[in-house]
Each structure stands twice: as C-alpha cells, then as structure tokens.
Chain A
Amino acid sequence: MSTNTNTTHPIFSSYERKEGFFDEIFDEKGNPKEIYKKLFEIYGGHSIEDFINLNNKARASFFNQGITFQVYGDNQVKEKIFPFDLFPRIIHPSEWEIIEKGAIQRSKALNLFLHDIYHDKKIIKQGIVPAEMISSSENYLHQMMDLDPPGGIYNHVSGTDLIKHSDGKYYVLEDNIRCPSGVSYVVCNRTALKRALFGVFNHYKAHTVTNYAENLLEMMESVKPHGVDIPNCVVLTPGIYNSAYYEHSYLAKAMGVELVEGRDLFVENNFVYMKTITGPERVDVIYRRIDDQFIDPFEFKSDSSLGVPGLFSVYKQGNVCLVNAPGTGVADDKAIYTYMPDIIKYYLDEEPILNNVHTYHCSRPDELKYVLENIDKLVVKPVDEAGGYGVTIGNRLTKEEIKNVQEQIKASPRKYIAQPIMSLSLHATYIDDSKSFEPRHIDLRTFTLLGKDTEFVLKGGLTRVALQKGNLIVNSSQGGGSKDTWVLKK
C-alpha cells in the first residue's frame, strides 16, 4: 500500500509513502511536517532543471574537495565519490536533547565497563555479563589488564548508530568505539549544501558542525600523560590506501596537528618521537586510526609495518596516550550490545535513555531455536564484522538462502545474533534516474567525545541513506549515500 503526497510539485511526483515505515518529512495525510514546511516552500520555487544543476554542483564540490572512499571486496578496490543528497535532514531541538543525553550515557557506561573488565571484572563476577563475552572475544587484550590509561578514558571517540523505527522512536543499532569514521563527511556535507543552497540554509537556525575538530583537540589535550604541560598531539594514519585517509588528513589539518604514518614515529628512552626536519619531537597524544592489531609489531601482529615498534610499552608506562585505547573492541562487539541496558543500569544506576533493539543470542539454545525457525522475520548479523558485511535480512531471502543461513548459524552459533527487522525511517532523497525526490531509508551516526572531565556530542551527525530502493543497509561500503543533518537551535 502506498499513497502519493499532497505536494503537487513535479519533483515530488514519484514520492510514494510506504505503510509500516516512519516518514520523516510527510505526515499521514501526505502534508509536509511543520519543521520541513519552509524548506518545501523554497524548493517549490525551483524547477527540475534547477535541481539537476544543484545536484551536479554539490557533487562537483565533493569531487573538488577530494572526498572519496574505497570499497573493499570482490577482489577489487574501487574509489568512489560519497553520494551526497540535496535534501537535508532536520532534527528538532527537543528530539536532539534525548539523543545527546543518550549518547553521552552510553559512552560513559561503556567507559566504565571497559575499566571494569580490565581491572576487577565485577560485572562478570556478579554474573551480569557472561564471562564468555570477554573470554571468547579476540578484541579483549591481555596486555590492557590493570593498565590505567591517562585520564581514565578508553572510548574517547564513539560513533553511535541510531535509526527511527515505525513507532517514531530512536533505537541504537550499534556503538562503534574502535575507530569510528564518518565525521569528515558531516562537515563536507554541510559545506556542499551551503555552497549549493545557501539561501535555504539561511532560513533555519542550525547548529554548526565545524567545531568538531576543536573539540577533538580539546579532548585529546585533556588526556595528556602525567607531567606533560602542553601536549603534542598527532593523527596516526595507516596511509593513503586506507578507505578513510581523507578523514585522517582532514582531522589533522582542522586541528592544526601533524598527520603521521608509523614510519614517521619512533620510540626512544620509553617515549614516542616524531621525525622532523629540525630533529626528533616528542609526541604525547596519538589519535590513531590504525586497528589494535597493527599498532606495534612487538606486541601485536609482528608483520605489521603500519605501527610503531615499542609503542605499546611506552603506553603501558604512561608516557603516551592512545586515542581510543587499545582493547576497546571487546565492548562494541555486537554481542555486548545486547547487554547495554544492563551495563547502563549497573554502572550508572540509570534507565537507558536510548532504546536498544531486542536481540536473540544464537549462543543460547532456546534463542537459537527461535532464530532458526524465524529467519524470514529477522536480521542475522555476525557478531564481529563491521561495515554491514555478512548481514542477511530474512524477508529478502529465498528458501535456498534461508537454508544456507541456517547452516551457517548452526555451524558456529556464538558468531551470530539476530534482531527483529527494524523499519528504518524514510526521507526524501534526490534520485538521478527519476530526476526527482523519492523516499529512501536512513539512519544516523552521532559522534561523542569523552575526555578527562569533558564530554561533547557533535550537534549534527551523519545521516546515511540506502540509495537502492527498499534497501535497509546504509553503510557507505554497501553503496549508501548521505545527507546534511541539521540540529536546530532552541
């Protein structure tokens, strides 16, 4: 069942509202919602040709800024322009307040959880989180036991992925606390939209997103090692072949700090130094965008040439701060996600502000049985893969495919969790083929910074769009696009 909207403008002629999904911009009668009215008024004054031009302009802006990403898989690496969309997402201040409080609550709870499982492990001993959650996780690092990171912070940077379900409520889909990426796109989307549609932007009072870098730097300075007055901060990148290299260079530039690769750093006298043309310069805080296993060949993967030999021993001695701390991956495992409500209650004695999606653990026999019998109604996810790889959506599968998924789960139940199929909300997205706006599914990644006595949530975020009609996976690596996201001022 679908109904067309009441907007008569031809660019919305292909916009079919779908039952069972929350529509972000149209109400049940097909009228634009209050917050979008002004936008419709302005857009109504433009022709289709105008939009085609504007869209090309916005894409050119991305191309000129060199904002691309790479897609892995199929034995090829392709460089793509991140598809950007002309229609912004607008979030009301009252709605944002909940998201912001909820994101901080989750970050703080995860930080306390990480501190606990690397020290006394009270939450395990009291049986709230099963011991297997850490003992079977490859991301739980023995080397982090009893280590106190500077400022007591583990997950300095968190990316929380949220969706709006058909009930109109936000649900957290996952917490990303290793090296969450995407924040540079938030800033670029804003730049591109402002360039293309300055007039529109001027009619709304949206919070800036360009203050992310200064807050990131402030957070990094707050977790400086003991005895350091003014810390020297750097961004450590795996190099130009990394899919997020653009972001690494953007962040370094915006913070006014050096962008380094492993070979630019060395360890001497149990401190980290950067090679410069004027001699070695001590480095105190490293925003490392290299995965744990690659940061130090003496401690982790011995054949890694991306890291710095001896870096971990310097960290262990408290002479450098790594952002995020090694070993945070144990807490953003999709299996831990399902315990988030318990984790929040345990450490903060608070009710979770943001909803968690109900999750079935295939490691539990009764839940495994339910999952195997109801695959067509569930999303099945591997617990340890990021970026939407290996996710299957039950109602899209043929009988044959369902059988295959059942076999996969039966072979290693611990590896999989399943959740009800969540209905991602819909938003107007400019589609090249039809030269008009069509509804597409979206999510929202927020960015939270946690420092020593500081916390910050970027007022905005990355709204990712599943560009294929009906697709529910919004990751850029799975062919998603993005929208500028406006959080309105009160």
Chain B
Amino acid sequence: MNLEYTVRYHARNQYETLVKSAVWQFLIQPENNDNQTVLDAHFSSSVDGRVDPTINGLGFEAIRYSVDIPFNEINFEASYKVIKEPINPFDLLHQERKKDMEVFNTLKFKADFEPYLRVTPLTQISDKSTFTFNAETSTFNQLQELNSWVYNYIEFQAGVTSVQTTASKVLSLGRGVCQDFTHLFCAICRANGIPSRYVSGYLHQGLGYSGDAQLHAWAESYLPKVGWVGFDPTNNLLTNQDHIKICHGKDYQDCAPLKGVIYAVGNGNNSTEHTVQVSAQQ
C-alpha cells in the first residue's frame, strides 16, 4: 500500500557578528524515483532573499538561497509531501559470489562504477581484513552480514564524531552516528570491489529507529543482475518504505544538506541546528 509522508525540515542559523550577505545551497528535497514521488514542495525563510531552484554537481535538485540584507539569525523551513510505494521484497537472484566477482573484476564494470569504488578520504580504512567476505555464499547475503556486523560494531552515540570523521577513525572509535555507520559500510564494500554509495534522506519517525530526528544516511550497493540495493547499517535494515531518499554520492561531502558562504563583519562563531519531522498518513 502507498504511504503518504509529510517531511518538514527546519534549520536555524545564528551568527555572532552581523552578516551582510550570504548564499546557501540546500540538498534537502526528496528525489523522484521508481518508488517515491514528490507531490508538493514548499521552501521559506525568515529573512527576505532569493530562491533559485538548481542542481548540484551530481545532478540532484538543490535550492540556492541568497540574502543581501544584514541579519544575525535566519530560519529556513521546507516541507515536502511524498508518496512512497511499497518496495517489493525483491526477487533477489542469490547468485554465487564467484559469479558476481567475475562481473566485478571486468574492466568494463570497474570503469562504469569507478566513482562508487573510489576510496575517498572519508571512506578510507587501513585494515581491510576487519570484515572478510566469504566466497561461498551470495554477495547479497554477505552484504546483509556486513550490515549486521557494522550495526553491532558501532555503538550509536551522538556527539563523539563529526561529518569529517573518517571510516578509519570510526573503526578505532567504535562509536558514531548514521554517517559513520554508512561510511564504514561503504569503505568495506569498496575495499572488496563492491560499488557502494552514500545516501542522504529522511527516515519515518516514531518506529524507534536510530537517526530519525535528523537527516538520515544509509548505503546502496550494486549487485549484478539486481541493481542498487539499500542497506541501513545504523538500524540493521534493508531500506524500505520508511526511507525517503534525497540524493546519493561518494560520501557525506557529496550529500551535505546545507552549505553556506557568509560575508560577515569581522569574525565570530556561528551555529546551525537542523530539525526534521517525518509523519505518515495512510
């Protein structure tokens, strides 16, 4: 059955010194894809400015907002109505890992999936033997095991890591939040030749999942003959109707929800708070 979601995004930015002008780029709008459709989109700000719908470098819809009057605080509100279709428990071909490996090892495959096999600074791990892929079972089963492994390995804890924390660091810390789970998952997949991408999105609230009060992150890995399959290592889940996708990229850097350039008088501290509300109506 289709689910209709209302997603509300709120960001509050405060600046110690007076800002004369500023421009931001938001990557917060759910994408339209095979199983989700955006019906309605609203964007507003507490300070008058200019809204420019645009795209980011990887082609996802973004909003650019520019302000040319002085301010110390600015609030942004966005809301989206999204229809999520049920994801059929896909008919996974439990292909042997050996057969997948043959595909993974072709030059054509390596070239086509290069961006999502690339080791970025955030998805670098020094110890590749942390999780070993078993050649006997299917890649899909292996990825599910990896999903559980990451879920068990990292203790969910906010405030110990930042968006710049590398997978390597997460591996030694053993604690973190959704982007850390996702970076580590992607890092291990890529180290084993399985294309994996970082996904930014929203998660249905009230089901007791970790990471639902903020923007969420999960991973998608590519399986030959199946396509991209979503794994949510923070919750040890396969992605489902509760996951509303915004965009994907190599790591957090490609998916940062908010980037800003501020022209201020002097230097001062600034702070940003995001809150997210996701509610479903059937």
A-side residues, CB < 8 A to B, are 121, 124-127, 131, 134-135, 142-143, 145, 266-270, 297-299, 302, 305, 309-310, 312-313, 316-317
Residues of B near A305 (CB, < 8 A) are 261
Q: What are 24 inter-chain pairs, A to B, with CB distance below 8 A?
A: A121-B111, A126-B107, A135-B114, A135-B117, A135-B118, A142-B115, A142-B249, A142-B250, A266-B23, A266-B66, A267-B23, A268-B66, A270-B52, A298-B25, A298-B56, A302-B259, A305-B261, A309-B23, A310-B23, A310-B52, A313-B55, A313-B57, A316-B59, A317-B54
Distance A175 CA – B240 CA, assembled complex (angstroms)? 50
Contact with A along B160-181 (1 / 0, CB 8 A): 0000000000000000000000
Distance A309 CA – B250 CA, assembled complex (angstroms)? 21
Q: Is the CB of B114 within 8 A of A310?
A: no
Which of A145, A298, A312 contacts B115 (CB under 8 A)? A145
Distance A143 CA – B114 CA, assembled complex (angstroms)? 13
Total chain B interface residues with beta-carbon distance under 8 A: 27
Closest residue of chain A to B116, judged by CB? A142
Residues of A near B261 (CB, < 8 A) are 297-298, 305, 309
Say if the beta carbon of B207 comes within 8 Å of chain A. Answer: no
Say if the beta carbon of B1 comes within 8 Å of chain A. Answer: no
Q: Which of B213-260 contact A (CB under 8 A)?
A: 249-250, 254, 259
Q: Is the CB of B52 within 8 A of A125?
A: no
Distance A414 CA – B118 CA, assembled complex (angstroms)? 16
Say if the beta carbon of B12 comes within 8 Å of chain A. Answer: no
Q: Is the CB of B108 within 8 A of A125?
A: yes
Say if the beta carbon of B110 comes within 8 Å of chain A. Answer: yes
Q: Is the CB of A310 within 8 A of B111?
A: no
Sample of 5 more A-B contacts, CB < 8 Å, known A121-B111, A267-B52, A298-B261: A127-B107, A131-B107, A131-B114, A270-B52, A316-B55
Given contact pairs A142-B58, A302-B259, A124 touches B111 in the complex (Cβ within 8 A): yes
Distance A91 CA – B206 CA, assembled complex (angstroms)? 78
The 10 A-B residue pairs whose C-beta atoms are closest, nearest first, are A143-B57, A121-B111, A124-B111, A299-B57, A142-B115, A298-B25, A309-B261, A313-B54, A125-B108, A309-B23
Distance A317 CA – B61 CA, assembled complex (angstroms)? 12
Distance A365 CA – B107 CA, assembled complex (angstroms)? 21
Distance A61 CA – B111 CA, assembled complex (angstroms)? 53
Which of B58, B108, B110, B259 contacts A297 (CB under 8 A)? B259
Say if the beta carbon of B50 comes within 8 Å of chain A. Answer: yes
Distance A269 CA – B52 CA, assembled complex (angstroms)? 6
Q: Which of B171-201 contact A (CB under 8 A)?
A: none
